[in-house]
Amino acid sequence: MGISIICAFREGAKQLFRNKGMSLASIFSIVAMMLILGVFFSFIVNLDVAMEAAKQDYDTVQVFLLETTDKEAAARMVKDLNDMDEVIKARYISKEEALIAWKVQWGESGYLLESLEENPLPNAIEIDVATLEGADAVVQKVKTFSGIEDILYYKDTVEKLISITKSVKIATLVMMIFLIAVSVVVVTNTIKLTVNSRGKEIEIMKYVGATNWFIRGPFLLEGIFIGLISALIAFGIVSLIYSKAMGLVGAEILLIVGIPMVPVKYLAFNLAIIFIALGISVGASGSIISMRKYLDT
């Protein structure tokens, strides 16, 4: 058994180099497919993170007060809002508290805010709401107050993000199925060349009693090698591109604009699993399909 596996590995590697041209074409095809999928995967994951962040912002309606609005007036607003069934909790946040929270949010880059000559943030009321419909009622109530400078409310943005995310996911799924099918066809044709060139040899092996899996082993491993090599190349390219993109944008800028992005290590780990599984599956599928002509009985 052990010798058979070793022989299968050796023969699979030989066949990979024996058809260099078609093997490279297969690898190129699978790498191209995975690069496209990797870009879409990175985009969708970050879009999901951004949408979740937006949902959290939606759960909190922020009311910015004019400089002329004193604490007593703000306290009355807070009381009126807390009396509403749609409100979980309303609280007053002074500009000093807001600046401290901003520094905490910036983490190690919080020291950059020390250079501000004056606090640019307004006093505010933060309102935790229960439902989308309830948030509409809360916003309408806030609009009746005087001393309000602005209302930050993300309902429309969240709805658009949800719609866009669903559309992108559907489009990506369709494209993924198409690209995987193309890759399987390319790998199948690559291995068919080897199978056809060794057709008589395969017939003789069957005649002397070789099992289907003994014959199929080297071809199956050839396809797996092609898929695995493609996966590793695509993984390296996508990880490098994403890492460079993160470096160009910079964590400080992302904090300032409030757009969260998935860390490179987390994305790379998940991409590695997906690409390796996909590459091996595509390569193995192509091999199995190409052998059906000789081993379907």
Q: pLDDT tens across 134-159, in order?
A: 788 888 888 889 888 888 876 666 67
How far apart, in whole angstroms, are the C-alpha atoms of residue 297 and residue 287?
16
Q: Where in the chain is the domain with CATH 3.30.70?
A: 67-146
Q: Which of 87-91, 118-122, 211-215 has the lowest mean pLDDT?
A: 211-215
What pLDDT is recorded for position 295? 61
Q: What pLDDT digit, counting tens, does each position of 274-294 carry?
A: 888 888 888 777 777 776 765
**In the CATH hierarchy, which top-level class contains the domain 67-146?**
alpha beta
What pLDDT is recorded for position 218? 76
pLDDT band at 257 (very low <50, low <70, confident <90, very high): very low
pTM: 0.59
Task: Please give the mean pLDDT across all residues of the chain.
Answer: 76
How far apart, in whole angstroms, are the C-alpha atoms of residue 232 and residue 238?
10
Q: Which of 180, 141, 171 shows the shortest CA–CA distance to 278?
A: 180
Percent of the chain residues topping a pLDDT of 70:
71
pLDDT band at 165 (very low <50, low <70, confident <90, very high): confident
